[in-house]
Amino acid sequence: MSPLSRTSSTAPRGLARRNLAIRSLAPTRCFSIAKNNDTRKERVVILGSGWAGYGFARTLDPAKYERVIISPRSYFVFTPLLASTSVGTLEFRSILEPVRRLPGKIGFYQGWADDIDFNRKTIRVETNAAEEAASKTVVPAPFPPPSETSGLEKDLTAPPKQPKGDIIDIPYDKLVIACGAYSQTFGIEGVREHAHFLRDIGDARRIRLRVLSLFEQCSYPRGSDHLSDADKRQLLHFAIVGGGPTGIEFAAELHDLIRDDLAPMYPELMPLVSITVYDVAPKVLPMFDQALAKYAMDTFARQNIHVKTEHHLERLRLADGEFGRRHGALKIKIHERGDDEVGAGLVVWSTGLMANPLMAKLAAKDLALPGANPPTTSPPKTRRLLRDPRTGGIMTDAYLRARTTPTTSSDQPPSPPDPNPTKPDASSSSSSSSSILEDVYVIGDCAVLSNHPTLPKTAQVAAQQASHLARQLNKNGAEGVGAREFKFRNWGTLTYLGSWKAIHQSQADELRGWVAWVVWRGAYLTKSMSWRNKMLVPVYWVVSWLFGRGISRF
């Protein structure tokens, strides 16, 4: 038998050329921190890979600056679509953007910024390249609230924990702090251990596994340890705490998953399923006006999603016995219901942000005054980063530059911030009354603008701050930054409600229903996404609609 052989040592030349052409758009990116051959460019180090950090790195011009990102997470998460991935409408990777794929040369080190020496302009990083590092929301162990600064200082004097990873020092010329915020449990017992969060992609994956597993657990016939209908009603009760857009959208997506994909597979379980959204406030979706919020509530009512406002969770615990141990059933104690605990199979905690503890640590450091040879006064004068006592974030001026305040004495807390700071000089090197820390900028959730301290902590704000800062640096470096204040433009809010309906509110417009849903879907094909994901996301929308969502557990 003579073989029909086609020997070809490479792919056809045309395709090979195209392959090389595309690959050439991705030039070499990595470089060693020790060998910075390009001495003309300043190094800008960015802490964080979220809306602020990634957005800033994306806009900063690699021809003018050397960009280095330090983050425990090597990718950006497109959070508005996170709820969709948590039920399988979209796949996880279609909303992730690897940092190393940003165009142009970029450095990246996976790890946590443990400490910053502002005097020597060096960042101490604890590396962690473990396989699933940082994909899940980390809630720090019980921590005194930021307003009790005395407690905080006690905490900072505790012996430092042993680092698990290698420690490396990264020098910078300019630093952009974009560390974001942590989830806040308000110290409520059991939330940290038993609730699911929804802020990162690992969270979405765990929620997805849990939801599907609960239906599977309830689908067995009577056995030696059977679940009664009352048990199943508890296991199939999905409780969401927090009536903001995250909680509302998750409830909506969960409803669609159950209606479209799980009802045909588990029809006998449908009468036992319920979804409840709890919030302490009198109304959910506070950023929407009354009419739209009411429309949202009516839509939820028609879909059988219960909304219980003015309900305070007091405790979360595992149910007793095998029910809790084997099935993970939970019991929620709600203040308004007295001693009657509510059973649930899944509790999603989508409320509460608290400052990254690193902010407190940095704000407690004594920094040298700028440009001064240390005088022979005793004790030497120092200054500290200014922290917002209410939220714990670092305060900045209107140009996103970190503000400082003179340290009165090491035992006294820093003086309260000047609510109306005078516009700083364009030159930031004025010595005696400088109130900013040179070359250090803060953006995103961990920043508090002095002239607008109540800006919400949203993706929109973070993205706009990042864009603004990068553009100003591109134009004219530090002087460029001082030339133009940051102004937030509110493009409005969109929230999906389930059943192909959404609400949208902006200064120009209000939309509801199916049209808002189209806008909702369209708005997310934005420049924050790579072309890879701009292709994948619509494909998944179509595939999920035609053939159902992905429902396998692994």
Torsion of CA 515, 520, 525, 526, to 10 degrees: 110
Residue 62, interface with a second copy (CB under 8 A)?
no
Residue 511, interface with a second copy (CB under 8 A)?
yes
In the set 17, 27, 320, 432, which binds a second copy (CB under 8 A)?
Answer: 27
Size of site (CB under 8 A) for a second copy = 107
Least Cα distance to 370 among 352, 382, 358 occurs for: 382
Which residue lies nearer to a second copy by CB, 31 or 488?
A: 31
Residue 546, interface with a second copy (CB under 8 A)?
yes
**Which three-class secondary structure string do you get for 274-327?**
EEEEECCCCCCCCCCCHHHHHHHHHHHHHCCEEEECCCCEEEEEECCHHHHHHH
Longest dimension (CA), the chain: 97
Place of tokens 């001064």: 372
Quick one: tokens of 20?
């090389």
In the set 271, 304, 509, 526, which binds a second copy (CB under 8 A)?
Answer: 509
Least Cα distance to 309 among 321, 297, 319 occurs for: 297
**Cα separation of 417 and 396, whole Å?**
11
Closest distance of CB 358 from a second copy, Å: 19
Least Cα distance to 497 among 309, 162, 204, 253 occurs for: 253
Binders of a second copy among residues 304 to 363 (CB under 8 A) are: 326
Closest distance of CB 133 from a second copy, Å: 8
**Cα separation of 554 and 514, whole Å?**
34
Residue 500, interface with a second copy (CB under 8 A)?
yes
In the set 225, 229, 310, 425, which binds a second copy (CB under 8 A)?
Answer: 225
Q: Supply the angle between the helices 51-59 and 459-483 in degrees, to the nearest 10.
A: 50
Which residue lies nearer to a second copy by CB, 295 or 349?
A: 295
Residue 22, interface with a second copy (CB under 8 A)?
yes
How open is the CA angle 323-324-327, to the nearest 5 degrees? 70
Closest distance of CB 20 from a second copy, Å: 11
Binders of a second copy among residues 113 to 132 (CB under 8 A) are: 127, 129-132
Quick one: tokens of 438?
């040179």
Which residue lies nearer to a second copy by CB, 216 or 418?
A: 216
Please report how many Cα atoms fall inside a 13 Å half-sphere around the Cα of residue 61, on the Cβ side: 11
Closest distance of CB 25 from a second copy, Å: 9
Which residue lies nearer to a second copy by CB, 130 or 426?
A: 130
Which residue lies nearer to a second copy by CB, 108 or 486?
A: 108
Torsion of CA 22, 110, 355, 254, to 10 degrees: 60
Which residue lies nearer to a second copy by CB, 204 or 473?
A: 204
Least Cα distance to 261 among 501, 500, 552, 537 occurs for: 552
Closest distance of CB 348 from a second copy, Å: 15
**Cα separation of 237 and 341, whole Å?**
13
In the set 140, 148, 173, 219, which binds a second copy (CB under 8 A)?
Answer: 219
Binders of a second copy among residues 65 to 84 (CB under 8 A) are: 74-75
Closest distance of CB 166 from a second copy, Å: 4
Residue 103, interface with a second copy (CB under 8 A)?
no
- Which window, 19-27, 144-152, 349-357, 465-473, contacts a second copy (CB under 8 A)? 19-27
**Cα separation of 546 and 260, whole Å?**
10
Binders of a second copy among residues 145 to 204 (CB under 8 A) are: 164-170, 200-202
Closest distance of CB 139 from a second copy, Å: 18
Binders of a second copy among residues 396 to 425 (CB under 8 A) are: none
Residue 453, interface with a second copy (CB under 8 A)?
no
Which residue lies nearer to a second copy by CB, 302 or 452?
A: 302
- Which window, 95-103, 177-185, 366-374, 410-418, contacts a second copy (CB under 8 A)? 95-103
Residue 492, interface with a second copy (CB under 8 A)?
no
Long-range contacts formed by 31-34: CB under 8 A, 24+ apart: 31/105, 31/107, 33/68, 33/107, 33/168, 33/170, 33/171
Residue 34, interface with a second copy (CB under 8 A)?
yes
- Which window, 140-148, 153-161, 396-404, 498-506, contacts a second copy (CB under 8 A)? 498-506
Least Cα distance to 118 among 429, 363, 356, 407 occurs for: 363
Residue 101, interface with a second copy (CB under 8 A)?
yes
- Which window, 5-13, 247-255, 397-405, 474-482, contacts a second copy (CB under 8 A)? 5-13
Quick one: tokens of 52?
């602020």
Binders of a second copy among residues 248 to 307 (CB under 8 A) are: 260, 264-269, 291-292, 295, 302
Closest distance of CB 11 from a second copy, Å: 4
Which residue lies nearer to a second copy by CB, 154 or 325?
A: 325
How many Cβ atoms are within 10 Å of 170's Cβ, its own excluded?
21
Task: Give Cα 236 distance to the centre of its chain.
Answer: 28
In the set 42, 61, 64, 93, which binds a second copy (CB under 8 A)?
Answer: 93
The size of the chain, in residues, is 554
Binders of a second copy among residues 524 to 543 (CB under 8 A) are: 530-532, 535-536, 539, 543
Residue 135, interface with a second copy (CB under 8 A)?
yes
Side chain identity, residue 215: F
**Cα separation of 455 and 452, whole Å?**
6
Closest distance of CB 45 from a second copy, Å: 13
- Strands, E assignment, 87-223: 96-98, 107-117, 122-127, 167-171, 174-177, 181-183, 196-197
Closest distance of CB 299 from a second copy, Å: 9
Residue 14, interface with a second copy (CB under 8 A)?
no
In the set 30, 63, 141, 158, which binds a second copy (CB under 8 A)?
Answer: 30
